[in-house]
C-alpha cells in the first residue's frame, strides 16, 4: 500500500520539478485530446442536433445504434483504427500510425457517440416551446437553428466534458494506435500502463494523479464558462 | 364592411392530427384592430387555431389570408408583425432584457439605445420594474413574472397582431391584471389586433368586440351559445337526458350518438319567477343567477344561470312581457323546448 | 456565436498544421521491440548515441515478440529487435524480414520465493520444471506469445513434459515481464525471466527482492536478441536504408561496447555477441 503515498509525493515532485518526460506525456495527452475533441464536436454537435431536432424515418433506430456505441470498448476501437491506419491497411499511406493525429482519430470515434447522444438528448429536452417562442418572436429558419443551438449550449458543454473525460482516460487506443513511443505518442495513460508494467507502481499512481489534476482544471474552467 | 377591414380571413381550413380532426373552419374573419375572444373546452382546437393565425404552422388544407394575402410561416409579412404568446411561456437562457430584446435584435434595424428603450417600455407595460428585472436571469423569475416577461417580449415588437393563448391560466392575481391591462394598452396605443383564447368568460365578454366558441374544431359564431355535453341516456318517451351535479335533469332531443354535444341558443331559453307555471311542452330547471351581461352589439341582456355545475345563458330581452326582475344571486326558473337544441 | 465560430476555425487550423508537421519529419527509424529492451532502459541509453552518430531519430514501440513480428509483417515499422530465434527464422523465410543479425544475449533464469517450496535450487532446467509439475507448485507464465513465453514453452517440451494450460498451479498473466514477476512475488510463485529484467526488478525493489534466482547457467537458457530489417520487397514503404544503418551501427564495435557497459547494480544486463 505504501506505493500510494509514494505516488502522491512523486506526483508533486514531477509537477514541481517540471520533469520533462512527464510534461511530454502531459503535452501529448492535451494535444491528442484537443484534436479528438475538436473533431468529435465539429462532427458530433450538428449530427446530435439533427438527431434530436429533426423528425425523420428511422430516427429511433439510429438513436438505438448511437446509444449502443456509447459502450464501444477502447481496445476494440484501437484495433479497428490500427487495421485501417496500418501500412497494409486502406489508409496506410497517410502515415498516421504511431502519430498523435492517428490516436486522435480513434479517440474521436470513441467520443463521437457520446457527443451525438448527449447533444441529441439536450436538444430533445428543449422541446416545442422554444421553437414556438422563437417563431412567434419573428425568428427566421437560420435564427431558429442558431438560437436553438445556443439554447442547448449547456447540454453541449456537458456532452463535451463527458466525452473529454472518456478521451483523456482511455488507454486502449493510445497504446494500439500510438504505440507508446517515448517523447512522441506516450500519453499519461500509456505511461501509467508502462510504469505499471515495469512494476513502478508509485510512478503509475503519480501519473494518475497528474491526470486527475488536469481533469480538475478542465472542469474548473468549464464551470467558470457556465457562470459567465 | 369591405374585405380591406379584415386583418385575417380564413377559408375552408381543415386540419387533422393522426387522423383525428382538430380544426374545421369554413369561413372566419377578424377585423383589424378588433379584440376577438376564443372560448371552448380544452382540446377544442383553440391553441391550434392560434398557431395557424400566428403562422407558426401551416394547416393541412385551406387558406389563411393576412391583410388580404395568403401568407405562410417565415414570410416577411408576418415575421415580427404577428406575435403569439404561448400558453406555457418559454424564456431563453439569458437575461430578462435580452429575452425581451431578442425579436428586436434579429429583425428590426434599431440602435442599441432604441432597443433598450423599447425593452424598458415593454417591461413598464407589464408592470415589471426595470431596475429590478432587466438584469435578472431567466431562472430567477416566478411563473407570473415569466409570463409577463414573455408578454413584454411580444409587446416590444409593437406587433400588428397579438395572439394570447390562455395568458391568465396559471398565474397569480396581480399578474393577471397586469397582463389584461397591457393587452388593452397595446390595442389602444398601436391599434394591435388581439385574439385571446381563454376560459375567463367574464374577461372576454368585457373586452372583446367579437367572441366565438370553438367546439371540436368548429367555430360557433356567438360565444354566448350554450353547449351541452354528453353522455346522454335515453328516456322511454324518446327524449334523452343527463343529470346535473344537483341531480336535475337536462332533457334533449335524440342525439346522433350518446356522447354528442348540443347547442342551445340563449334566445330559446326563457326565464320565469319561481312561482309561475311553465308551458307543459317545455323542460324546466331551477338555478341561481350568477351574472348579468350586456351584449355589446345589440344591448341584449344575457343572464347566466348556475344549475349545479352547469352554466346556462338566457337572453332576457327576447321576452320583455313576462320578464321578471333580475338580479345576481336570485333563484330563478328557466325553460326550453327539448327540440330547440341542435346537435353538432 | 461568433466566438464559437472563431474557436472552431482555430482548432481546424491547429489540427491541419500539426498533421502537416507530422508528415514533414524525416530521418526517423521506427522500431518494434520486445518489452525487455525497453523496460530495462537499454534503448533509452542507446538511442541518443545512435542519433549523435547518424542523425537518425530512433522511435520504438514496445510489445511482446509476437506483436512486434506482426507489426513488421504489416509494414508498420522499419526494423525489429526481438528474441525468439525460431519465430524469427520463420519470419525471414516467409519473406517479411531481411538482414537478421544477432546482437547480444542474456540468459533466462527461473526465479522463485526464497523458501523454495519445490526445492529447485541447483537443479537443471528439466529437473526443475519436472519438480514444479510434480509438486504442482505455483508457476506464473507470461502467456502472451512473447519471446520469453515462446522460450518457456520450448523448455517444457524439451523436459519431456506436457505444456501446462489450464492447471490450477499454472497462471498466465498476459502481461509484460516485470508485471509478471510482480504477480509471481504477490502469489509466492515461480516464474521464468530474462536476467536483465530480473536485475531491473532487483534494482526496483532496492536490492532485496522477495524472489531469488534458483535455476541458471544451463545452455538451454540462453536468450539471444537479434535485429531484423523489414523486407523492402514486401513493404515498399519501409525505410530499408535507415534500418540497414541501424543494424550496422548496433552490430558495430562502439554500440557493442555500449551494451557491455550497460549495468544495473554493477551487473551487466546483456552480453554483446554480434559477429
Rounded CA gap, A201 and A195, in Å?
Answer: 7
Give the model's pLDDT for residue C2.
46
pLDDT tens, residue by residue, B33-78:
999 999 888 888 999 999 999 999 899 999 999 998 999 888 888 8
| Residue A100: C-alpha distances to residues A1, A39, A167, C15 (Å) | 34, 13, 13, 10
Strand-pair partners of B196: B37, B164
Residue B28 has φ and ψ, to the nearest 5°, of -155, 130
Say if A162 is an interface residue toward chain C (CB within 8 Å).
no
Percent of residues, chain C, with pLDDT higher than 90 = 59
Spell A51-73 as b/e; 16+ CB within 10 A means b.
Answer: bbbeeeeeeeeebeebeebeebe
3-class state of residue B70 by DSSP: strand
The mean pLDDT of B186-209, rounded to a whole number, is 88
Give the model's pLDDT for residue C81.
94
The answer to the question of residue A209 being in a domain is: no
The answer to the question of residue A112 being in a domain is: yes
Q: For A101, left (φ over 0), alpha (ψ -120 to 50), or beta?
A: alpha
Give the model's pLDDT for residue B309.
79
Those residues with Cβ within 8 angstroms of residue A164's Cβ, 6 or more apart along the chain or in another chain = A33, A37, A111, A218
Interface test with chain A among B106, B146, B155, by most A beta carbons within 10 Å: B106
Q: Which of C87, C58, C62 is nearest to C73 (CA)?
A: C87
| Element holding C212 (H helix, E strand) | strand C211-215
Give the model's pLDDT for residue B115.
93
Q: For C55, left (φ over 0), alpha (ψ -120 to 50), or beta?
A: left
pLDDT tens, residue by residue, B234-279:
988 889 999 888 888 899 998 888 888 888 888 888 888 888 888 8
Interface test with chain A among B54, B76, B92, B155, by most A beta carbons within 10 Å: B92
Q: Which of A101, A201, A115, A129 is nearest to A159 (CA)?
A: A115
Q: How many domains does chain A have?
A: 1
Nearest CA in chain A to C22: A99
A199 and C62 in contact by Cβ < 8 A? no
Nearest CA in chain B to A146: B106
Give the model's pLDDT for residue C6.
58
Chain C positions touching A198 (Cβ under 8 A) are 39, 176, 178, 200, 204
Q: Which of C137, C142, C151 is nearest to C180 (CA)?
A: C142
∠ CA C65-C71-C77, rounded to 5° = 110
Subunits with 3+ C-beta pairs closer than 8 A to B: A
The answer to the question of residue A208 being in a domain is: no
Those residues with Cβ within 8 angstroms of residue B18's Cβ, 6 or more apart along the chain or in another chain = none
DSSP state of B157: T
The answer to the question of residue A85 being in a domain is: yes
Chain C nearest C-alpha distance from A75 (Å): 15
Q: Tell me which CATH homologous superfamily contains domain C107-221.
A: Periplasmic binding protein-like II (3.40.190.10)
Say if A24 is an interface residue toward chain C (CB within 8 Å).
no
Give the model's pLDDT for residue B327.
83
Q: Where are the alpha helices (DSSP H) in chain C?
A: 2-24, 35-39, 42-54, 65-73, 85-93, 125-135, 147-158, 177-187, 195-204, 240-251, 253-260
Cα C100 from chain centre: 16
Cell of C149: 513465453
Subunits with 3+ C-beta pairs closer than 8 A to C: A
Chain A nearest C-alpha distance from C59 (Å): 6
∠ CA B291-B292-B295, rounded to 5° = 130
CB B260 within 8 A of CB B232: yes
A137 and B157 in contact by Cβ < 8 A? yes
pLDDT tens, residue by residue, A84-119:
998 888 888 888 988 999 999 999 999 999 999 999
CB B235 within 8 A of CB B304: no
The answer to the question of residue A195 being in a domain is: no
A180 and C18 in contact by Cβ < 8 A? no
Rounded CA gap, C255 and C251, in Å?
Answer: 7
Q: For position A45, which CATH number holds?
A: 1.10.3720.10
The answer to the question of residue A119 being in a domain is: yes
> Do B and A have ≥3 inter-chain CB pairs under 8 A?
yes
B84 and A154 in contact by Cβ < 8 A? no
What is chain A's alpha carbon radius of gyration, rounded to the nearest angstrom? Answer: 20
Beta-sheet pairing, B193-197 with B35-39: parallel
- Which residue in A141, A151, A154 is closest to B74 by CB distance? A141
Say if A167 is an interface residue toward chain C (CB within 8 Å).
no
Give the model's pLDDT for residue B82.
94
- Which residue in C75, C201, C237 is closest to A199 by CB distance? C201
HEC states along B257-311?
CCCCCEEECHHHCEEECCCCCCCCCCEEEEEEEEEEEECCCCCCEEEEEEECCEE
| Residue A169: C-alpha distances to residues A82, A165, A209 (Å) | 19, 6, 12
pLDDT tens, residue by residue, B100-151:
999 999 887 889 999 999 999 999 999 999 999 999 998 899 989 999 999 9
| Element holding A216 (H helix, E strand) | helix A201-227
53-72 of A, contacting C, C-beta below 8 A: none
Provide the edge-to-edge strand list for the sheet that holds B249-252: B233-234, B240-243, B249-252
Residue A22 has pLDDT above 80, yes or no: yes
What is chain B's alpha carbon radius of gyration, rounded to the nearest angstrom? Answer: 23
pLDDT below 50 — which residues of chain C? Answer: 1-2, 23-24
Interface test with chain C among A49, A94, A199, by most C beta carbons within 10 Å: A199
Chain A positions touching C30 (Cβ under 8 A) are 98
Q: Tell me which CATH homologous superfamily contains domain C28-105+224-272.
A: Periplasmic binding protein-like II (3.40.190.10)
Residue B96 has pLDDT above 90, yes or no: yes
Query: pTM here?
Result: 0.69
Model confidence band, residue A164 (pLDDT cutoffs 50, 70, 90):
very high
Cell of C159: 523436459
Print the domain residue range for A110: 20-187
Give the model's pLDDT for residue C24.
46
Interface test with chain A among C9, C22, C196, C232, by most A beta carbons within 10 Å: C22
Give the model's pLDDT for residue B10.
92
Cα C253 from chain centre: 22
What is chain C's alpha carbon radius of gyration, rounded to the nearest angstrom? Answer: 21
A137 and B153 in contact by Cβ < 8 A? yes
Rounded CA gap, A141 and A127, in Å?
Answer: 16
pLDDT tens, residue by residue, A180-224:
888 889 999 999 988 887 777 788 888 999 899 888 988 888 888
A198 and C22 in contact by Cβ < 8 A? no
A136 and B93 in contact by Cβ < 8 A? no
Say if A221 is an interface residue toward chain C (CB within 8 Å).
no
Q: Which of B270, B275, B288 is nearest to B329 (CA)?
A: B288
pLDDT tens, residue by residue, B149-185:
999 999 999 999 999 999 988 888 888 999 999 999 9
- Helices C177-187 and A188-197, axial angle in degrees (round to 10): 50
Residue intervals in chain C for CATH 3.40.190.10: 28-105+224-272, 107-221
Chain A nearest C-alpha distance from C177 (Å): 7
Residue B1 has pLDDT above 50, yes or no: no
Rounded CA gap, B307 and B305, in Å?
Answer: 6
Amino acid at each position: 500500500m505504501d506505493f500510494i503515498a509514494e505516488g502522491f509525493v512523486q506526483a508533486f515532485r514531477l509537477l514541481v520539478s517540471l520533469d520533462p518526460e512527464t510534461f511530454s506525456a502531459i503535452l501529448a495527452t492535451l494535444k491528442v485530446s484537443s484534436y479528438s475533441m475538436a473533431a468529435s464536436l465539429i462532427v458530433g454537435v450538428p449530427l446530435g442536433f439533427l438527431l434530436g431536432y429533426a423528425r425523420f424515418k428511422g430516427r429511433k433506430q439510429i438513436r438505438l445504434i448511437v446509444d449502443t456505441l456509447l459502450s464501444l470498448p477502447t481496445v476494440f476501437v484501437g484495433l479497428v483504427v490500427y487495421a485501417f491506419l496500418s501500412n497494409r491497411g486502406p489508409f496506410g499511406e497517410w502515415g498516421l500510425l504511431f502519430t498523435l493525429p492517428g490516436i486522435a482519430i480513434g479517440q474521436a470515434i470513441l467520443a463521437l457517440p457520446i457527443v451525438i447522444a448527449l447533444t441529441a438528448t439536450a436538444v430533445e429536452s428543449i422541446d416545442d416551446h422554444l421553437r414556438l417562442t422563437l417563431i412567434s418572436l419573428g425568428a427566421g429558419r437560420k435564427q431558429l437553428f442558431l438560437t436553438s443551438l445556443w439554447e442547448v449550449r449547456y447540454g453541449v458543454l456537458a456532452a463535451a466534458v463527458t466525452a473529454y473525460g472518456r478521451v483523456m482516460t482511455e488507454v486502449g487506443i493510445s497504446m494500439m494506435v500510438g504505440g507508446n513511443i517515448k517523447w512522441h505518442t506516450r500519453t499519461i495513460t500509456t505511461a501509467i500502463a508502462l510504469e505499471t508494467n515495469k512494476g513502478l507502481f508509485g510512478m503509475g499512481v503519480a501519473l494518475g494523479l497528474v491526470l486527475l489534476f488536469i481533469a480538475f482544471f478542465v472542469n474548473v474552467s468549464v464551470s467558470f464558462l457556465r457562470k459567465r | 364592411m369591405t374585405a380591406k377591414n379584415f386583418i385575417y380571413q380564413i377559408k375552408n381550413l381543415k386540419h387533422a392530427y393522426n387522423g383525428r380532426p382538430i380544426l374545421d373552419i369554413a369561413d372566419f374573419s377578424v377585423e383589424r384592430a378588433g379584440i376577438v375572444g376564443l372560448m371552448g373546452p380544452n382540446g377544442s382546437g383553440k391553441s391550434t387555431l392560434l398557431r395557424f393565425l400566428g403562422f407558426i404552422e401551416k394547416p393541412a388544407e385551406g387558406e389563411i389570408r393576412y391583410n388580404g394575402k395568403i401568407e405562410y410561416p417565415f414570410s416577411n409579412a408576418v415575421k415580427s408583425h404577428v406575435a403569439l404568446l404561448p400558453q406555457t411561456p418559454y424564456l431563453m437562457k439569458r437575461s430578462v432584457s435580452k429575452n425581451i430584446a431578442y425579436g428586436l435584435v434579429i429583425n428590426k434595424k434599431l440602435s442599441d439605445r432604441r432597443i433598450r428603450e423599447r425593452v424598458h417600455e415593454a417591461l413598464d407595460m407589464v408592470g415589471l420594474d426595470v431596475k429590478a428585472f432587466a438584469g435578472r436571469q431567466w431562472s430567477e423569475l416566478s411563473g407570473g413574472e415569466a409570463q409577463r416577461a414573455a408578454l413584454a417580449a411580444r409587446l416590444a415588437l409593437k406587433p400588428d397582431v397579438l395572439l394570447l393563448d390562455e395568458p391568465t391560466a396559471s398565474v397569480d392575481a396581480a399578474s393577471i391584471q397586469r397582463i389584461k391591462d397591457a393587452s388593452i394598452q397595446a390595442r389602444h396605443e398601436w391599434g394591435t389586433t388581439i385574439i385571446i383564447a381563454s376560459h375567463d368568460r367574464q374577461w372576454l365578454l368585457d373586452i372583446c368586440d367579437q367572441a366565438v366558441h370553438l367546439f371540436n374544431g368548429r367555430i360557433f359564431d356567438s360565444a354566448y351559445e350554450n353547449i351541452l355535453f354528453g353522455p346522454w341516456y335515453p328516456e322511454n318517451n324518446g327524449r334523452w337526458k343527463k343529470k346535473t351535479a344537483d341531480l336535475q335533469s337536462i332533457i334533449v332531443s335524440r342525439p346522433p350518438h350518446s356522447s354528442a354535444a348540443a347547442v342551445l341558443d340563449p334566445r330559446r331559453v326563457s326565464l320565469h319567477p319561481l312561482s309561475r307555471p311553465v308551458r307543459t311542452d317545455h323542460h324546466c330547471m331551477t338555478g341561481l343567477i350568477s351574472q348579468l351581461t350586456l351584449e355589446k352589439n345589440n344591448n341584449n341582456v344575457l343572464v347566466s344561470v348556475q344549475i349545479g355545475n352547469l352554466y346556462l345563458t338566457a337572453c332576457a330581452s327576447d321576452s320583455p312581457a313576462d320578464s321578471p326582475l333580475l338580479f345576481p344571486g336570485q333563484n330563478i326558473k328557466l325553460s326550453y323546448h327539448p327540440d330547440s337544441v341542435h346537435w353538432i | 456565436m461568433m466566438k464559437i465560430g472563431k474557436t472552431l476555425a482555430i482548432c481546424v487550423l491547429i489540427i491541419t498544421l500539426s498533421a502537416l508537421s507530422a508528415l514533414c519529419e524525416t530521418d526517423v527509424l521506427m522500431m518494434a521491440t520486445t518489452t525487455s529492451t525497453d523496460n530495462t532502459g537499454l534503448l533509452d541509453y542507446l538511442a541518443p548515441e545512435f542519433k549523435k552518430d547518424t542523425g537518425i531519430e530512433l522511435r520504438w514501440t514496445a510489445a511482446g515478440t509476437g506483436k512486434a513480428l506482426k507489426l513488421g509483417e504489416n509494414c508498420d515499422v522499419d526494423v525489429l529487435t526481438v528474441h525468439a530465434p525460431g519465430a524469427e527464422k520463420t519470419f525471414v523465410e516467409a519473406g517479411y524480414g531481411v538482414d537478421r543479425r544477432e546482437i547480444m544475449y542474456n540468459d533466462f533464469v527461473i526465479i522463485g520465493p526464497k523458501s523454495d517450496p519445490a526445492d529447485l535450487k541447483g537443479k537443471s532446467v528439466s529437473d526443475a520444471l519436472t519438480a514444479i509439475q510434480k509438486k504442482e507448485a505455483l508457476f506464473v507464465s507470461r502467456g502472451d506469445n512473447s519471446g520469453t513465453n515462446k522460450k518457456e514453452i520450448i523448455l517444457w517440451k524439451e523436459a519431456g513434459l506436457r505444456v501446462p494450460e489450464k492447471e490450477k498451479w499454472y497462471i498466465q498473466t498476459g502481461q509484460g515481464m516485470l508485471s509478471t514477476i510482480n504477480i509471481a512475488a504477490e502469489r509466492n510463485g515461480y516464474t521464468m525471466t530474462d536476467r536483465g529484467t530480473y536485475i531491473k526488478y532487483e534494482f526496483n525493489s532496492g536490492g532485496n527482492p522477495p524472489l531469488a534466482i534458483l535455476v541458471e547457467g544451463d545452455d538451454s537458457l540462453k536468450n539471444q536478441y537479434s535485429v531484423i530489417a523489414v523486407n523492402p520487397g514486401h513493404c515498399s514503404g519501409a525505410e530499408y536504408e535507415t534500418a540497414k544503418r541501424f543494424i550496422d551501427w548496433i552490430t558495430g564495435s562502439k554500440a557493442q561496447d555500449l551494451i557491455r557497459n550497460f549495468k544495473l547494480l554493477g551487473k551487466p544486463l546483456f552480453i554483446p555477441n554480434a559477429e
